[in-house]
Structure 1
């Protein structure tokens, strides 16, 4: 390292040696140092001011300044990185990711994780209608995104400030606690529907996306075809219909879309014959489609 002029011995040549960092080796010309002064990365007063500009002032204690997180992002991410924050809080990280994308045209994505921690009933946040920290976090992302879009943006930025909110829950599938000897012929009808009664079509869709390993951020649209609600994920990545009484005419029409995957409710077919024929129809019309029933 000494031969490569990579060691510095201080201005007089007699100090404790340290490794040199050259700008040519540092991404975007930023050299990380141990101490970051507040005039470069902000302070608590600045972070509170940032929330005030979003009409969220006083709702969160000790938020981090955007400039601080943005400095970290410049050091450790590239333009296509995924940034994960397990303690979202007021979502300064999400705000910083969107702001940096707007500045350099990047396509960074963020994943914010926040427990539904309840706000103190005496707090300004609770008085403003926010029952949990997660609600403040989501609202900050919405308002920050709108503010960033209203300002100057890099010409190559896709201006994507959208996000999805997902919550951890139990399976959508109904729990069965009976052994075969406890089930009578008369009780079999109660076990036909294997999906919990309080689950929506969207709940089922996202479970299928997780089961199949499909990207949860892909665009989703909903169409009505032959009177049934049909979801299209990224056009043809996945097609899903969780309505009841599905007939062969609908199955044939969906097969002409030639999706990579298609999924139905196990009890959603008009008859057992339709259920059996569904896979054969796809084999004939769209043989590459993976067919599944849940």
Structure 2
């Protein structure tokens, strides 16, 4: 497992530091401290200004330097540390003076780490977790939830979004839901996976999963249900829902042609600039992307004046893509005072509806931002 970042690596939190070695025997007002080395790996010839006798001003005891490891500081800096009570002198002058290192002055409360030997499972654990959910493993080297959960804890706070560009069996989604159940967080996940086909001879294919995405989706459903069942009342408000979106071409027709490409019967095909095979849901999510509305936003499907309407985030966005939309419907929508309202140009029942469209909103909801596709 390789983790890397372009420059500052503080994004990884590391493990909590162990303060067992810190104490405050002299009641130093700066709090608990431990001792650290006061020498550096340089010789007396290499650092002559750091090769000198060190004297305890309170006792007069002299501590001889080590030729192969000179003091870390020149005399002026060392005297300043002594004046600040940051140097600990031992009774035995054959031992080395040490520098106080205060817990209160540490850069952070965690240490970096390069290995995880405890607390995270091996691939065999990941295989078993898939078997527990499906009764079959489907994958040979599934990442264990404990490992991905530990990684998530390192970089994602309680309200962050976790993105996995190689979702596979959706272990990351499983780990995020498990972590939210354990610490009450509200992390969200985005899983990205090409619809790679499963082998027709595989157990996954025989079980009805024709591509990897289908396995991942079902795993999220089953893992979410299992987590809520095991946690009981503690996870009754845990959000395990998700949406499935697929990349596709634009919903809009290509209406740009060279003059030589125009045909007599082309104008009838250009009456509507939206592709015929696109659903209202297709249009809604395109609009949400265009307007910067989160794809995880709450969406309610309602009926206003006899027409199907999508209400996103409690009137933040209202969209209607039905046909034959009358002034009555537009007036009823305007009275809801949405921040955005979107509809198809071809949805308007008549030219008079199109003519009065802006005036209706100017009367009932002038602040609404209108968009016609």
Q: TM-score, normalised by structure 2?
A: 0.70
Partner of 2:119: helix, strand, or coil?
helix
Q: Is the 8 A contact 1:258 1:286 kept in 2?
A: yes
> What is aligned with 1:35?
115
Deviations 1:138-189, CA, capped at 9 Å, x for gaps? 1111100000111226858841000000000000011235334644565322
Partner of 1:275: helix, strand, or coil?
helix
**Misfit runs of 4+, over 6 Å:** 4-9, 22-25
Structure 1 unaligned residues grouped into runs of 5+ = 15-19
Superposed, which structure 2 residues align to 1:30-179 within 5 Å? 31-37=111-117, 39-55=118-134, 57-152=136-231, 155=234, 158-176=237-255, 178-179=257-258
Question: 1:177 & 1:6 partners in 2: Cα distance?
Answer: 74
Task: Point out the more displaced range, 235-244 or 186-195.
Answer: 186-195
Partner of 1:40: helix, strand, or coil?
coil
Measured at CA, do residues 204 and 270 of structure 1 come closer, stay the same or move farther in structure 2, by a change above 3 Å? same
Superposed, which structure 2 residues align to 1:126-275 within 5 Å? 126-152=205-231, 155=234, 158-176=237-255, 178-180=257-259, 182-183=261-262, 186-275=265-354
Q: CA shift at 1:198, angstroms?
A: 0.9
Deviations 1:255-274, CA, capped at 9 Å, x for gaps? 01000000110111011221
Measured at CA, do residues 122 and 274 of structure 1 come closer, stay the same or move farther in structure 2, by a change above 3 Å? same
Measured at CA, do residues 26 and 111 of structure 1 come closer, stay the same or move farther in structure 2, by a change above 3 Å? farther
Cα RMSD after superposing both structures: 2.8
Q: Is the 8 A contact 2:161 2:187 kept in 1?
A: yes
Question: 1:128 & 1:155 partners in 2: Cα distance?
Answer: 33
Structure 2 unaligned residues grouped into runs of 5+ = 1-31, 42-67, 69-100
Tell me if 1:277 matches 2:277. Answer: no
Q: Is the 8 A contact 1:218 1:234 kept in 2?
A: yes
Q: Is the 8 A contact 1:282 1:289 kept in 2?
A: yes
Q: Is the 8 A contact 1:264 1:293 kept in 2?
A: yes
Question: 2:324 & 2:210 partners in 1: Cα distance?
Answer: 41
Question: 1:92 & 1:6 partners in 2: Cα distance?
Answer: 42
Q: Is the 8 A contact 1:172 1:204 kept in 2?
A: yes
Question: 2:265 & 2:275 partners in 1: Cα distance?
Answer: 20
Task: Point out the more displaced range, 52-61 or 101-110.
Answer: 52-61
If each structure's helix is expressed as a fraction of its own residues, which one has the higher value? 1
Q: TM-score, normalised by structure 1?
A: 0.87
Q: How many residues align?
A: 281
Question: 1:195 & 1:108 partners in 2: Cα distance?
Answer: 36
Partner of 1:100: helix, strand, or coil?
helix
> What is aligned with 1:17?
none
Measured at CA, do residues 63 and 218 of structure 1 come closer, stay the same or move farther in structure 2, by a change above 3 Å? same
Q: Is the 8 A contact 1:56 1:140 kept in 2?
A: no
Which of the two has higher C-alpha Rg? Answer: 2
Measured at CA, do residues 93 and 26 of structure 1 come closer, stay the same or move farther in structure 2, by a change above 3 Å? farther
